[in-house]
Amino acid sequence: MKYRILVTLKPGVLDPQGKAIHHALEGLGFDGVEDVRAGKLIELEVADSVGQPEIEEMCRKLLANTVIENFRIEAAEPARA
Amino acid sequence: MQSAVIVFPGSNCDRDLATAIELVTGRAPTMVWHRESELPAGTGLIAVPGGFSYGDYLRSGAIAARSPVMQAVKAAAERGVPVLGICNGFQILTETGLLPGALMRNAGIRFVGRDVALTVENSQSIFTSRYEAAEQVTFPVAHHDGNYSADADTLDRLEGDGRVAFRYAEEVNGSARNIAGILNAAGNVLGMMPHPERAVEGAHGRTDGRRLFEGLLEAVA
């Protein structure tokens, strides 16, 4: 079973990397970009016995720093029959 | 005084820190590898050094904070053993939850490596007793992720409780309220981005950092 974990900065937390990307896009002549926020994508391949609650625990304990980051878990493929 | 310096793969200030501690206390610290699950018996001071533990993978300090030795450091801190985290050490202490907030990428994106002026905000702690209140000191900084961030309530609490130990006297990295170093509620844990261990002897060009270790020695001995 494959999961995708999307880790993003909480709203309101300053994102210097997003800002730098934004500037670079403007430098390339892409107008109309209003905001850029950079985050992380982590892919987990886990045994079928590992459930969503465990994935959430992994996120809270290590994959995201919940002081500054939010996380979202997506099943990347349906569970094997 | 029996002290311990924690060493992670990627630590690079561990020997500087050990040299500073030995210079002031007269006793070399025990270097404790990250895989150890116990600290030497009688450890009276724990120092978590700067560097790039685990290559800063995931987040600065994130993986080091989950290493076996940090569970022992956490338990010791909760018993009241003084813990000093410098630079990556500060990042590790926030990641373990021993200190609030987080250290994010510098607001200017760039790595900052230079001497900076700091104001001593709290001169009553075991780490800062040898400084005068509001004294200005100069320590080197060398970091990419030193932008201290916490929610407004946490910042107000830190300020109100005198837990801001050092503040930048100039703009350095975008830190909230120019915070350079903070204490835990009990006052036995200090995390700071600047490097006092790089300012302890004449050859360093400045010695402002030496009094931090002298104060600690006095407090712990």
Which CATH number fits the domain that encloses residue B135? 3.40.50.880
Mean residue pLDDT of chain B comes to: 96
Specify if A15 maps to a domain: yes
Which range marks the domain in which residue B159 is found?
3-220
Specify if A27 maps to a domain: yes
pLDDT at A16: 86
**CB < 8 Å to B91, chain A:** none
Termini Cα distance of chain A:
11
- Neighbour-count burial of B219, counting CB atoms closer than 10 A to its CB (0-12 exposed, 13-18 middle, 19+ buried): middle
Number of domains in chain A: 1
**Which whole number is the average pLDDT over B124-145?**
97
**Which of A65, A69, A71 should we substitute to test contact with B (largest number of B Cβ atoms within 10 Å)?**
A65
Reported confidence tier of residue B1, pLDDT bands at 50, 70, 90: confident
The CATH number for A9's domain is 3.30.1280.10
Cβ <8 Å between B102 and A68: yes
Cβ <8 Å between A62 and B66: yes
- Neighbour-count burial of B12, counting CB atoms closer than 10 A to its CB (0-12 exposed, 13-18 middle, 19+ buried): middle
Is the predicted pLDDT of residue B76 greater than 90, yes or no? Answer: yes
pLDDT at A78: 63
Q: Are B76 and B39 in contact (CB under 8 A)?
A: yes
Q: Which of A17, A19, A65 sits opposite B59 (nearest CB)?
A: A65
- B101/A contact by beta carbon, under 8 A: yes
> Active-site residue numbers of B?
87, 195, 197
Q: Where are the alpha helices (DSSP H) in B47-173?
A: 62-65, 68-78, 88-96, 152-160
Is the predicted pLDDT of residue A81 greater than 60, yes or no? Answer: no
Specify if A81 maps to a domain: no
Cβ <8 Å between A14 and B109: no
Is the predicted pLDDT of residue B174 greater than 60, yes or no? Answer: yes
**Which whole number is the average pLDDT over B13-26?**
97
Which range marks the domain in which residue A54 is found?
2-75
What are A24-78's pLDDT values in tens digits?
A: 999 999 999 999 999 999 999 999 999 999 999 999 999 999 999 999 999 987 6
The proportion of chain B whose per-residue pLDDT surpasses 70, expressed as a percent, equals 100
Output the six-digit token pair for A18.
């997003």
pLDDT at B207: 96
Neighbouring-strand partners of residue B85: B48, B191
pLDDT at A79: 54
Report d(CA B36, CA A67) in Å as an integer: 28
Output the six-digit token pair for B177.
């309220």
Report d(CA B93, CA B22) in Å as an integer: 23
Is the predicted pLDDT of residue A80 greater than 90, yes or no? Answer: no
Number of domains in chain B: 1
> Nearest C-alpha of chain A: how many angstroms from B162?
22
The proportion of chain B whose per-residue pLDDT surpasses 90, expressed as a percent, equals 98
Is the predicted pLDDT of residue B95 greater than 80, yes or no? Answer: yes
> Nearest C-alpha of chain B: how many angstroms from A17?
7
Cβ <8 Å between B95 and A68: no
Angstrom CA distances, A55 to A9, A62, A72, B185, stand at 19, 11, 10, 32
Reported confidence tier of residue B185, pLDDT bands at 50, 70, 90: very high
Pick the closest to residue B139 from B100, B165, B177 (CA basis).
B165
